[in-house]
Amino acid sequence: MPASRSMAALTGIALLGLALTACDDQANGQIVAHNGDRHVETVSNLVIGGCHRFPEGVTRVDNYTTSSLLMYTTPDCTVPRGGASAYLDGPSAGEAVEATGLWRSFSFAPE
């Protein structure tokens, strides 16, 4: 028994709605990390929530997403005593300042 057109249309609308809702939890685009002139990591379409670690400390991050980042010198997205996080708007690039040390993790800034 073939499905009716209205049932097919409703199914298509429901699937589109699910796909659009899922996109809200992702930062579409890439984040590219470097240490000096050396490429360290490229990650794509990350989940917005939580802390993301770099495999090693990085000196430069290119944010090719439309989301802003908070950069940390700790591996767990915490601010050490007397330290600070760095804000990196998207899309843009930022370099770690020698006084702060290497960036080791990042999270997405609340919007």
The full 3-state SS of the chain, as one line of letters, equals CCCCHHHHHHHHHHHHHHHHHHHCCEEEEEEEEEECCEEEEEEEEEECCCCEEEEEEECEEEEEECCCEEEECCCCCCCCCCCCCEEECCCEEEECCCCCCCEEEEEECCC
Q: pLDDT averaged over the chain? A: 84
The percent of residues above 90 in pLDDT, for the chain, comes to 59
Does 19 fall in a domain?
Answer: no
Is residue 52 in a domain?
yes
47 within a domain of the structure (yes/no): yes
CATH of residue 61: 2.60.20
- Total domains in the chain come to 1
Task: Tell me whether residue 35 is in a domain.
Answer: yes
Model confidence, pTM: 0.74
Assigned domain for 3 exists = no
pLDDT per residue over 65-104, tens digit each?
989 999 999 999 999 998 889 999 988 888 877 767 899 9
Domain that holds residue 77: 26-108
